[in-house]
Amino acid sequence: MTSSPCKPAPKPPLRIGIAGLGTVGAGVVKLLRENAALIRARAGRELVVTAVSARDRTRDRGVDLSNVAWCDTPEELATHPDVDVVAELIGGAEGPARLTVTRALENRRPVVTANKALIAIHGAELACTAQAAGVPLMFEAAVAGGIPAIKTVREGLAADRILKIGGILNGTCNYILTVMHETGRDFAEILADAQKLGYAEADPSTDVDGVDTAHKLAILAGLAFGRPVVFASVYIEGIRRIGALDLQFARRMGYRIKLLGIARQHENGIEARVHPCLVPQDAPIAEVNGVFNAVVAEGAFAGRLMLEGRGAGEGPTATAVCADLIDIARGSAMPVWGCAADSLVQAVALPSRSFTGEYYLRLNVEDRPGVIADITAVLRDNGVSLRSMLQHADAHDIRPDGTHAVPLVLLTHKTSEAAMQHALHHIAELSAVLDEPALIRIEAA
């Protein structure tokens, strides 16, 4: 008689406690239930939500929570007897989010989070806590929503030396710039529309001032270079000063304007910056429009790759959270930053004045003889070489005092940020320059 092979005992369900039941939290509950059979097959066990914490128990979130335990505070999930892993979906770098994650790790509970601010600012510290406890801290959903950016950089490119990483990392800014490009309307008007459509928050500062992009860039740079970047050292500039006229000039010169996060590793440190860029209109990243994100990485061996997709929203972000939960269920987890936490050294980003590149400079100047000669003399004296110049005659403006103003655009050859800023300071002091100059970097992308 032949004996049948022994089947391994089925694994018990992975019991999940969710802190925060906003759009993403409710989406995770919905996804785990609707795709339960598929997830069980891929995880090798069931994934079930057993406990939750949210400020308002009475709010209708579109999912049945009647058989789920409620915790009065999210920190209680860290020690709840029916919770194996905590999903932190509250947001914010401090307060309940940080306390919940820290306590869960200290109590040897794996953590999954979508909290980019928390990881960008406290990621090195939390990595040490996770390593000491011997449990994973995972954050695929913290960068670019449903785009598998973290897995690609930390695992797919683990054998390569990454030279550059970044991309379009904020859907709100990309939507605003796309509509400005397509319609010729101004920033404030498009922002108001984006708020009505739900693409921008009531207080859009974190998005439009570049902070959200910087959080994500700091995480990507830390993964790419194995050295978490001190967030406060990242150069950040948003899109509030981009005018419809800049979009028109960019189109005429064969460019699109995008808010990019860019990180490179140099011998003397890490370059990490967020600001609007002119990119060639035939570059792949120039065609990433609307609320879409794109993560671009360049490896010494792998070359250039670009991942594009929806960077936020219930479905994409919940998918990324659940991907991390499946990894934990299978017992598959990477070190937080791709290497041992105790070998990490936090890196300070290089100062912005050390950057080099080409520049777009738009000036509103008085229409009189000698103005261009004065401006080019300042640039010459600061070692800035001009590549081209463009005037928009149709935009001629007569000010209330009778002054005739015209917009003037100058493109430079490669120069240093320090030289450009010094020249800009002196140009702004010229009597013929009527408004604050607009400066945008040009990126090959």
Sequential DSSP letters for 409-438 = EEEE-SEEHHHHHHHHHHHHTSTTB-S--E
Q: Is 36 annotated as a binding residue?
A: no
Q: Is 198 annotated as a binding residue?
A: no
Neighbours of 281 (CB within 10 A): 14
**C-beta separation of 19 from 45 below 8 A:** no
21 is in an annotated binding site: yes
Q: Is residue 19 marked as binding?
A: yes
Q: Which of 11, 151, 196, 216 is catalytic?
A: 216
| 232 appears as a binding residue in the annotation | no
Which amino acid would we find at residue 256?
R
Show contacts of 281-286: CB within 8 Å, 24+ apart. Answer: 281/251, 281/254, 281/255, 281/256, 282/254, 283/444, 283/445, 284/445, 285/167, 285/168, 285/258, 285/260, 285/445, 286/255, 286/256, 286/258, 286/445
How far is residue 307's CA from residue 292's CA, in Å, rounded to a whole number?
A: 10
Binding site annotation covers 68? no
Question: Does 258 participate in catalysis according to the annotation?
Answer: no
d(CA 85, CA 25): 14
Longest dimension (CA), the chain: 106
Determine if residue 102 is labeled as part of a ligand binding site: no
Structure tokens at 300: 């010494």
The total number of residues shown for the chain amounts to 445
User: Which residue bears the tokens 């777009």?
Assistant: 360
Span between the terminal Cα atoms of the chain, in Å: 68
Confirm whether residue 24 is marked as ligand binding. yes
149 among annotated binding-site residues: no
Q: Which of 76, 85, 92 is nearest to 137 (CA)?
A: 85
Beta-strand pair 235-236/269-280: parallel
For 219, 340, 361, 394, the CA distances from 226, given in Å and listed in that order, are 10, 10, 36, 51
Is residue 87 annotated as involved in ligand binding?
no
Helices within 226-263 (DSSP H only)? 244-252
The structure tokens listed for 342 are: 């105790």
Instruction: Specify whether the CB–CB gap between 161 and 299 falls below 8 A.
Output: yes
Residues marked as binding for NADPH? Answer: 116
Residues marked as binding? Answer: 19-26, 116, 201
Task: Show which residues are catalytic.
Answer: 216
Residues marked as binding for NADP(+)? Answer: 19-26
Residues marked as binding for L-homoserine? Answer: 201
